[in-house]
Amino acid sequence: MTSFTTHIPTADLTPEPLDPSQIVSGTPEVTGKVLTESSDGRQLRGIWQITPGVVTDVEADEMFVVLSGRATIEIEGGPTLIVGPGDCAVLREGDRTTWTVHETLRKAYAITLP
């Protein structure tokens, strides 16, 4: 891998269609871009964006920093996280979440897969 920089706020992202069963309300749309992936496919770093709505997910081991937008992330059996610009969050693998996206949210992430 070569060292590089990316301007996250203006980076072009690719549509990543949601499974309709994940959508609780609204018409959220997801886009993203993987910036780097380890040779074994277990380490991913990238950019992800979601428009307003409510969706469910089962999380990977992830750390992310919100660049823009706001969301409330309810973790089943755990805390509720309120995130906005500048916030860093850590999600555990297997966390069952409900994301209420109030304003289009863009984040930079690092994921470790099993």
Eight-class DSSP state of 86: T
Whether residue 6 is predicted with pLDDT greater than 80 in this model: the reply is: yes
- Domains of the chain as residue ranges with CATH: 15-112 (2.60.120.10)
Q: List Cα–Cα distances, 88 to 2, 47, 83, 111, in angstroms.
A: 26, 14, 8, 13
- pLDDT, tens digit (0-9, with 9 covering 90-100), for 61-110: 999 999 999 999 999 999 999 999 999 999 999 999 999 999 999 999 99
Percent of the chain with pLDDT over 70: 100
Confidence of residue 1 (pLDDT cuts 50, 70, 90): confident
The model's pTM: 0.94
